[in-house]
Structures are given as structure tokens and as C-alpha cells.
Chain A
Amino acid sequence: MNTPVLSFTDKGIYCPAGDFHIDPWRPVARALITHGHADHSRWGHDSYLSTDAAAPVIRHRLGDISIDTLRYGEQRRIGGATVSFHPAGHIPGSAQIRVEVAGEVWVASGDYKVSPDGLCEAFEPVKCHAFITECTFGLPVFKWAPQATVAADINAWWSACAAEGRPCLLGAYSLGKAQRVLALLNPAIGPILTHGAVENTNEVLRAQGYALPDTVRVTPDLDPKQHPGAMVIAPPSALGATWARRFRGAQVAMASGWMRLRGVRRRRGADRGFVLSDHADWDELHQAIRETGAEKVFATHGYTDIFARWLGSRGYDARIVPTEFGGDEDIAEDTA
């Protein structure tokens, strides 16, 4: 009997040949972690393995854990399996995990985006027999404009607000999206302020050598009047909180792939919604799947049933990965 290279258990993706899990959501002995976002990198595993680029943030978020690292592309033998990490282009340090057992190659994508953003390591297609792909934005309505266009829109909005003397409050998830936005800003427009959660991550990433513009941490005694025309980067959850009230007259925006949907943007009560996602859009998902050469595709994290049905109609052997929530879409509107 042929045991599959990876199987799907109630703890997450499991490799029987190597006796390890990938991004498990319940405590396990050995966890291979694609990246530091909370839904992939959870607390409580006996040992962790990630890229060396992802480890500092994971450590920063999970505290005292036992973590081992590999460089991108470096192979490691675990039991009967050979594993390696390859850039996923999602956030700094993020990886797809390649697992080879007896000549059969499976790749778990974690989260990914195909077009380079200039900050994190660019996505690398990995040939495989089976590809486990996320599909957060696996619907044909999700298509992203080029990053340069979105960057120009954000900077134009900032310039216009600065000219009116209003602060800009931009909601962006504190790990990944916030730093990507920072790298797109034109610091000549004005000062850049950051929420503590964002700045803590900035410190970790700067120490690793990621190039970010100068920022000022918002502390309780910070006087917004001393920073006219500022761009303030904060996690989306802080926008509606007391924390944001100090920035009087601010224009509020969100940067997320969900901003593609007018209804979601209006619900968030933002003045502006910038469509900027760290996930592959509809076309990129297809590009990525094509480039793996895989015949077998597993859809996870997103509109899995719709996406798998579509792939099936295109001739793929496509299936749905049951996740913790019964194979249903997991709309992490804040992080996407």
C-alpha cells in the first residue's frame, strides 16, 4: 500500500515518513512552520523548524521555544523524508515547505503571493507531484493592481491629507503588511508613526537587515501636534479603539486584499481602502499551480470548495483540505 507523502489530520498536515506536522493547530512533537502568522505558528509544540529568516519573529511572538532553522533551499533529512524551505513571497521569512519521500515530492504552500514586493524574499516555484495551495482569494473577483499603482495611490492620499494638515491612519496587520506598506511609503511626504505592535515587529526585522524607513513609535506621551502631516501605521484592530482617538481629524484607510470588495470596505468604516494583499490573487494562484507542474492539488484556507471545483473542471485532481473549521473558508480579514 502506498502511504501518501502528506496526510491531513485533526492536528493539521502530517508527514508519516518523517513523523512531523506542518503548521499544526494543536500541540505536536515536531512542527515545521511556514511563517510567523498566528494561524500558522502556534504555541505549544515540543520543537519548531523554520527558515532562519522567519525564526526571529516566531521567537519574538512565541517566547521561549525550541526552534531549529534552515536556510532557503537547504535540505534536511527527517526520518524517511527530505524537507526544504522555499520562498513564498508572503511576508519576510515565509516559506513553502517541500517534502520528498521515495522520489515523490509534495509542497505545502503556506500563504504565498507570486509577484515580488521588494521587501520579502521573492516567491520561487517548486516542481512537485502534489501541491497544497492556500486559496484565501480563490475567486475570479480578486485581482490585484500592480504594487507600484497601489503605492502611488497611498502616497497621493498621504500627500493630500498632509496638505490639509490631517493625519493619515492606515490599518495594516502588524507582521508583514505593515512593513510592506512602510517600504512603499515616500518618507519625503512627512513623518511616519507606528503603533507599538507594528514597531516591535519592525525592530526584529530591522535587526535582521530588512530595509525599513525611519519610524517613530507612538507612546502614551507622544503629542500628535508635534508630527504634522504624519502617516500612522497601526493594526486594524487599533483603528476603532481609544488608541486612535488622539489623532484628531484623521483620515482612515485600510490596506488589505478584502478592500477589493466595496461591502467589506464600507463595513470597516474606512474612508479609503487600498487593495494590497500578501496573498496570491486569482491569476497568481493559477500561475503558481501551473508552475509546480503538479497534477494533484489540495485547496486549503479560503473558498476551498469553489476553488477545488473550478480546478477539477480544468482537469486537475483537486481536493479540499479539511482544516480545523471543517474545510470552510477562514476569513482573516485583518491579516489578508
Chain B
Amino acid sequence: MKAFAALFSAIDQSTRTTVKTAALAEYFRTAPDDDRLWTVALFSGRRPKRAVTTTQLREWASERAGLPLWLVEESYPIVGDLAETIALVLPPPGDTSDRSLSDWLGDLLTYPALDIAARKARTLDAWDRLDATERFLFNKLITGGFRIGVSRKLMTRALAQATGQDEAAMALRLMGDWTPQTTTWQRLVAAPDAEEDDSRPYPFYLAYQIDGAPETLGPPGDWLAEWKWDGIRGQMILRGGAHHVWSRGEELMTDRFPELARARDFLPEGLVFDGEIVAWDGAQPLPFNTLQQRIGRKTVSKKLLRDAPVVMLAYDLLEENGTDLRDRPLEQRRDRLDALLAELPDDANIRASPLIPFETWNALAQTRSTARDRRAEGLMLKRRDAPYLAGRKKGDWWKWKLDPLTVDAVMIYAQQGHGRRANLFTDFTFAVWNGNELVPFTKAYSGLTDAEFNKITAWVRRNTLQRFGPVRQVTPELVFEIAFEGIQPSSRHKSGLSLRFPRMARWRHDKPAQEANTLDDLHEMLALYG
């Protein structure tokens, strides 16, 4: 673990991407195969399953440190990271260890077969042989959360540097359904990419939000427009007699959406579609909360299939007859897509997301303003002659979303954040008026600057009325404009509604709490846009 801890420290001790990339590349050049393979796995989100609950970890740590559990739990929100809290409260180790990253991970993989007492014994033993940084990393591995400031993009670049391969090619070979147990460093990274993995998806191309008006994009004739659907981005692969559905987060979702298997009955082999999976009422998408019932369910009941059926609205064709089309201009890919899907019956459950014809940017702006009626979030603008790139690249794909809905609300609860927001109040609950009563209706965490969070933190400390564990009830005084993308009825919330993507648009210093919006205002919005 020492080499991996040194890598972590080098990455963690710099704010410069070039330094981080160089440190990773050096590690990829020199580390043993098993360790570097695991490192690629960890930084691409392939973590070992959580082998121990966080409650167990807290209990074992407090026992080992000779501290009451409540004291460890009170420390956690201030540190903002459980793995770190535990690493910090434990007594210094009695021993050291030369075991490598993959040795420790190998241990963790055996945990599910052990009883709790044995897992505990192994964990305590590890804590006693690892130094502070190693312990922190070990705890991160054991809790199954491993985000430590290395993006997948950065890792891919470092791998490309270390192996002298092309970055995009590297990104492609890291995609798909592998784990360190099913492949080797040689096969995944080092050997020529001869992998015949039928399920492997292409890296997704991600759009940026356009700043201001689209006039800056040049002549409208250079662009295609589509609705921006509010669903789950997905890639559907038809190869080798099977189909595979991938999420943007590179999760295999094939079994979650069994109705998409119908595509196989109508379409030939060797196709890869990019599109949006949406809940569908036969003519248009259902609200996102209908789709939400399907997310996170690995097995789907008949009732759910009936109540929340899905289709894929495909907007790009990345492969046809087994040939990678990503270098072709969008226009050509789109023609092929439309030709493939035009004649399919409705129950194929895949259809082309329609293009929106337009002559001028003004006319398109008019169309955009009707997006909510179409259950869309706005428009997508894509350059006709653009290839399909990998990752988030500026220039060819733009989101042109509707302006969000907004409401002015009063902050009533505050809680400390995690990670770099440790010891800072950043997580707030907001309420609107119902007569003289404030009814909570949403939480929000983002949208303000660090300087604003600092100010609010000082304010929260002075204006705490009551504490409920890590949550502070505060004087209902501060007003924020809450922006959101959608509003839905909800029986689980006291307010009777829930918001989509709520965030703080700004701090309304100018507004007293009495002038915040009311629950009636929100229900009016629900009636209009829900």
C-alpha cells in the first residue's frame, strides 16, 4: 500500500492537473501489474462491493480508539468524511506492512465469505499495520467510496502518457464490463486492443450548456436541433445476438429495462445507438418521477412495466454493420439512424428522437419556449458536420435549456457539508409560507460561492435555535431564490410536491422572510408545469 499511498499524497498535495497526471503516469509505468490494474479500476468507478457497513466501522473504530461512539459520530460532520474521521481517531499503528494495494484489495474481496467477527478482526489488524494515509485509503476502499480528486479523464490521459497510446483509444478500451478479476493489465491496457467484447460501449459525448443566445454559433443552417429529453442517457448495443444497455455512468442497465429487448426483433446486428431512455405514454414522455420508479430496480414487476413503460429515443448511431461511424459527420449518422428506425412499429420500443426543422434562431427560440409542453427540458443543438467525440468537449454539441423555474424560500435548517465543504454549512432545507407556518419543501446544496458559504456558516453559528444531531434549526430569516427544472406531486413530502434539480440561484439579501413565496404559489406551478 505504500506506493499507492505515495501516489495518493503526490496527487493530493498538488492543485495542478499536470502534476497529478505526471504522478499517475509515473505510477502506471512502474507499479506491479496487479496494483496498476486495480488503480485503473478504482479511478474508473470499479470499486469492490462494500464489505462492512459504516455503522460497523464506526463501532469498531470507537472501540479501538477507546472513545464513546457518540464522540466519533459528532466528529464525523466536522471532518466531513467518515474514512478520514476513523483514520484520525485511531491510535498510532503498532506495526507496519509491506503488503501492496492488490494484496489488501484481495483481502477485502474475501470479506463477504467471512462472518462479522472475522471481518472485524481483519479490519482491526489492518488498522494496526497501516499509517495515517494508508489507513485513510484502506477505509475508503472498505466503505466502497473512492473519490479522491482523480477524474476518469485525468486517469485516461495518464495511462495514455504512460503507455504511449492515443487518449481516445485508451478511453474506448477502458469502457465496458470488466473488473480486475476478469482481465489483466496486459489485456486491458498494454497489449494491442484486439478485445472482442460485444458489450463494450463507446465513451459518451457530452454537451456544454450554451452561454446566452445561439446567434454566436453562426448560421442556423450549420446546425441540427432536437428536444432535450429529461430521462436517462443510454447506449444500446446490438451485437452477437444479444443487446446491452449502458448508462452514461457506465452501468449496465440491460436487465432493468427488459422492454428494450424488443429492438432485437426488428433490427439487424452490429448497431450501437446513443439516446435517452424515457418513460413513455404512447405519444410523449411521462414526467421524470415516473421513470424514477424504474431507476435502481434491478428486477421489474409486471405492474411497474405497465405503469411506467420505457422507450429509447435514439438520436445518434455510433456503429452500423459493426463499423464505427463516429468519425462520420452527424448528418450522415442521422440519416442512417432515421432510415433504420423510420419503419419500426411502436412496440419496438426504440424510436428516433425527432429533428426540429427551423430557419432562424428566432424561430427556434419560439419552439424552445414550448419545451415544457413537450415534456422536454429545452433543446439540443448539434453541428451537422461534427464527428462523435469522447467526453465533454466544447464546440459541436450544446444544451440550450429552458430558463429554470424559481421560487423565493426561507432557510430553516442547515447542515455541514462533506469533502472540501467539511466544517462549513452548505446543505440547507428551505420552506415556503402556508399561512403563518413555514412548510419545508426542498433541500439545496449548490449554487453559492465559497465566500457566501463562509458568511452563511458564521451566520448559522450565531443563529442556531436547536440542534438535531448534525442538523441545526436556524432563525427563519435568510431568503434564497431556488431554481429548479421541474415540479412533481409527491405524497412523501409534507408540501405535497417535489422539485427536480433544485439549487440556490442567489441569496436574496433584499428580501425579508415575510416576502418569500407561499405553498399556494408552488401548487399553482405544479398545476401549470407538473
In terms of DSSP, what is the predominant structure of the interface of chain B? Answer: helix
CB <8 Å contact, B422 and A140? no
- Given that A139-B74, A272-B13, A329-B461 are known contacts, is A263 also in contact with B80, CB under 8 Å in the complex? yes
Closest chain A CB from B484 CB (angstroms): 27
CA distance A143 to B418 in the complex (A): 21
Instruction: Say yes or no: A313-B420 contact (C-beta < 8 A), given A271-B13, A271-B14.
Output: no
A331 touches B423 (CB 8 A): yes
Q: Most chain-B Cβ atoms within 10 A of its Cβ — which of A261, A263, A331?
A: A263
- Comparing B82-90, B242-250, B405-413, the segment that makes contact with chain A is B82-90
Q: Which of B65-73, B337-345, B394-402 contacts A (4 or more CB under 8 A)?
A: B65-73
Complex CA gap A309/B74 in Å reads 11
Q: Does A216 contact B (CB under 8 A)?
A: no
Contacts of A266 in B (CB 8 A): 149, 419-420
Assess A263 versus B74: contact at CB under 8 Å? Given A140-B89, A328-B464, A330-B461: no
Find B422's partner among A264, A271, A325, A329 (CB 8 Å cutoff): A264
A80 at the interface (CB under 8 A from B): no
| Residues of A with C-beta under 8 A to B67 | 140
- Distance A141 CA – B84 CA, assembled complex (angstroms): 9
Q: Cβ of A141 and Cβ of B421 under 8 Å apart?
A: no
Find the A residue at minimum CB distance from B88: A141
CB neighbors of B among A273-330 (8 A): 303, 306, 309-310, 313, 325-326, 328-330
Taken together as a complex, chains A and B put the C-alpha atoms of A325 and B463 apart, in Å, by: 8
Once the chains are docked, how many angstroms separate the CA of A258 from the CA of B71? 19
Query: How many contacts A-B (CB < 8 Å)?
Result: 81
Q: Mark interface residues in A244-282 (1 if CB within 8 Å of B CB, else 0).
A: 000000001000001011111011011110000000000
Whether A325 and B420, one on each chain, are in contact in the complex, defined by CB atoms closer than 8 angstroms, is: no
Contact between chains at A263 and B421 (CB < 8 Å): yes
Distance between A167 CB and nearest chain B CB, rounded to angstroms: 15
Q: What's the Cα separation between A69 and B78 when bound, in Å? A: 39
Q: In the bound complex, what is the Cα–Cα distance between A299 and B75 (angstroms)?
A: 17
B420:A267 contact, CB within 8 angstroms? yes
Within 8 A of A (CB), among B87-110: 88-89
**Chain A contacts of B424 at CB under 8 A?**
267
Q: How far is the CB of B118 from chain A (nearest CB, A)?
A: 27
Considering the complex, give the chain B residue whose CB is closest to the CB of A260: B88
Is B12's CB under 8 angstroms from A326's CB?
Answer: no
Task: Tell me how far the C-beta of A328 lies from the nearest C-beta in chain B, rounded to whole angstroms.
Answer: 4
- Grouping DSSP codes into helix (H, G, I), strand (E, B) and loop, the A interface class, with mixed when no group exceeds half, is loop
Give A128-155 as 1s and 0s: 1 = Cβ < 8 Å from B's Cβ atoms: 0000000000011111000000000000
In angstroms, Cα B465 to Cα A326, docked, is 10
Q: Is B464's CB under 8 angstroms from A139's CB?
A: no
Cβ distance B85 to chain A, nearest Cβ, rounded Å = 6
A122 to B422, CA, bound (A): 33
- In the assembled complex, the CB of B242 is this many whole angstroms from the nearest CB of chain A, namely 44
Query: Nearest residue in B to A141 (C-beta to C-beta)?
Result: B88
- The chain A residue sitting closest to B83, CB to CB, is A262
Q: Is B303 an interface residue (CB 8 A)?
A: no
A267 touches B75 (CB 8 A): no
Evaluate contact between A325 and B462: CB separation under 8 angstroms.
Answer: yes
B524 at interface, CB cutoff 8 A: no
**Cα-based distance from A266 to B14 in the complex (angstroms):** 10
Q: Is the CB of B89 within 8 A of A141?
A: yes
* Contact A263 B13, beta carbon cutoff 8 Å: no
Given A139-B78, A141-B79, A262-B84, verify A267-B464 contact (CB < 8 Å): no
B216 close to A (CB within 8 Å) = no
Q: How large is the interface on A (under 10, 10 to 19, 20 to 34, 35 or more residues)?
A: 20 to 34
How near does chain A come to B100, taking the closest CB pair, in angstroms?
23
Judge whether B65 and A141 touch: CB under 8 Å: no
Are A261 and B71 closer than 8 Å at their CB atoms?
no
Interface string of B1-26 (1 = CB under 8 A from A): 00000000000111110000000000
Once bound together, how far apart are the Cα atoms of A263 and B136, in whole Å?
13
For residue A261, which residues in chain B have a CB less than 8 angstroms away from its CB?
78-80, 84, 422-423
B81 touching A263, Cβ below 8 Å:
yes
Closest partner residue, chain A, to B84 (CB atom): A262
For B450, list chain A residues within 8 Å (CB). 267
Q: Does A267 lie within 8 Å of B78, measured CB to CB?
A: no
Q: Which of B237-264 contact A (CB under 8 A)?
A: none
Closest Cβ–Cβ distance, residue A257 to chain B (whole Å) = 12
Cross-chain contact of A306 among B74, B84, B419, B421 (Cβ < 8 A): B74
- Hey, which chain B residues are within 8 Å of A142, CB to CB? 88
Given that A139-B74, A329-B461 are known contacts, is A267 also in contact with B13, CB under 8 Å in the complex? no
The answer for the CA separation of A56 and B1 in the assembled complex, in Å, is 52
Q: Give the complex CA separation of A326 and B463 in angstroms.
A: 8
Q: Is the CB of B71 within 8 A of A306?
A: yes
- Nearest CB of B to A203, in Å: 31
- Contacts A263-B81, A263-B419 given: A326-B462 contact, CB under 8 Å? yes
Could you say which residues of chain B place their CB within 8 Å of the CB of A260? 88
Q: In whole angstroms, how far apart are the Cα atoms of A328 and B467 in the complex?
A: 12
| Complex alpha-carbon distance, A4 and B200, angstroms | 76
Question: How far apart are the CA atoms of A329 and B460 in the complex, in Å?
Answer: 11
What residue in chain B is nearest A269 (Cβ atoms)? B15
- The answer on a CB contact under 8 Å between B15 and A140 is no
A310 to B85, CA, bound (A): 17
Closest-CB distance, A331 to chain B (whole angstroms):
7
Determine the distance from Cα of A245 to Cα of B80 in the docked complex, in whole angstroms. Answer: 31
Structural contact, A262 and B12, CB atoms closer than 8 A: yes
Cα of A143 to Cα of B88 in the assembled complex, Å = 8
| C-alpha spacing A238/B419, complex, angstroms | 24
Which of B70, B75, B420 makes the CB contact (< 8 A) with A139?
B75
A303-B423 Cα distance, complex, nearest whole Å? 11
A298 to B444, CA, bound (A): 37
Roughly how many angstroms separate A326 CA and B474 CA in the complex, as a whole number? 13
A107-143 Cβ-contact flags toward B at 8 Å (1 or 0): 0000000000000000000000000000000011111
- A residues near B (Cβ < 8 Å) are 139-143, 252, 258, 260-264, 266-267, 269-272, 303, 306, 309-310, 313, 325-326, 328-331
Pull 19 A–B residue pairs with CB atoms less than 8 Å apart, ordered by A.
A139-B74, A140-B65, A140-B75, A141-B78, A141-B79, A142-B88, A258-B423, A260-B88, A261-B79, A263-B84, A264-B423, A267-B420, A306-B74, A306-B75, A313-B68, A328-B462, A328-B464, A329-B461, A331-B457
In addition to A263-B79, A266-B420, 6 A-B residue pairs with Cβ atoms within 8 Å of each other are A139-B75, A262-B81, A263-B84, A264-B422, A328-B461, A330-B461
